[in-house]
Amino acid sequence: MKILVCISNVPDTTTKITFTANNTQFNPAGVQFIINPYDEIALARAIELTDGGNGSVTVIHVGEAANEPTIRKALAIGATDAVRVNAPAHDAYFVAVQIAAYARENQFDLILTGRESIDYNGSKVAAMVGELLDIPSVSIIKKLDVDGNSATVEREIEGGKELLTIPFPFVAGTTEGVAEPKIPNMRGIMSARTKPLTVVEPVTVQNNSEVLSYETPAPRGQVKMVAADDAAKLIYLLHTEAKVI
């Protein structure tokens, strides 16, 4: 089985985020980057499925050379090889087109992504890649089992769970429950240095979006205490200040 796992390079959640160029560009200075946690789940499941010589796991990342330490960590965790599309990740559509272009040329049985990246939280790439390749896609799966030429996936829906059996090839966006993220050991870290990391140039994509500005969340306001027996005041504040009723 050939599995392609899409990984993104995201800021650690403890990192302070700032912007430059009149709040139109993200400032990477001093930012600690990590593999997107949902992508780590996808990678862990791919490694489990191919363990024992049952296939190969290729990780693909759309980004510049500065992101290669993140790719090397994926190799240390257990991926067979890696591909970096040599271009900044402009938006979800741009990323999906690059992934689809590579996958189309290399014929993978299964393409896994995280449910979303923790910086933009768009949940778009898996569906876009499926559409571009004209293969099935299913988002936010919590379980993935393989049986021959098909797989059974489980996802939560309103009021219950949904089980789907899907023939290969297909795309899936993973979330918690699919697998436990793996920590690279010393052997993995050493072998990652020699595993193949191929750099490919991007295909041409028309820009369909433009960032006008970024804004940080408004600072948390001062807490107002309301006496437990003063329901009228609480209702008044919720209505006039919080504007939630």
Beta bridge partners of 34: 10
Q: What domains can be seen in the chain, in order of their start residue?
A: 2-214 (3.40.50.620)
Contact 39, 145 (CB under 8 A): no
Tokens of 83: 């591909």
- Give residue 224's region: left, alpha or beta (phi > 0; psi -120 to 50): beta
In this structure, the number of other CB atoms found within 10 A of the CB of residue 8 comes to: 25
Residue-wise pLDDT tens for the chain (245 aa)? 999 999 999 999 888 889 999 998 889 888 999 999 999 999 999 999 999 888 999 999 999 999 999 999 999 999 999 999 999 998 999 999 999 999 999 999 999 999 999 988 899 999 999 999 999 999 899 999 999 999 999 999 888 999 999 999 999 999 999 999 999 999 999 999 999 999 999 999 988 888 899 888 878 778 889 999 999 999 999 999 888 88
Structural tokens at position 13:
């959640």
Q: Are 8 and 40 in contact (CB under 8 A)?
A: no
Q: Exposed/middle/buried for 91, CB within 10 Å: 0-12, 13-18, 19+?
A: middle
DSSP string, 2-54: EEEEE--EEE-TTSPPEEETTTTEEE-TTPPEEE-HHHHHHHHHHHHHHTTTT
Alpha carbons 96 and 30: distance in angstroms, whole number? 28
Does the predicted TM-score (pTM) go above 0.85?
yes
Would you call 195 exposed, middle or buried from its count of C-beta atoms within 10 A (0-12, 13-18, 19+)? middle
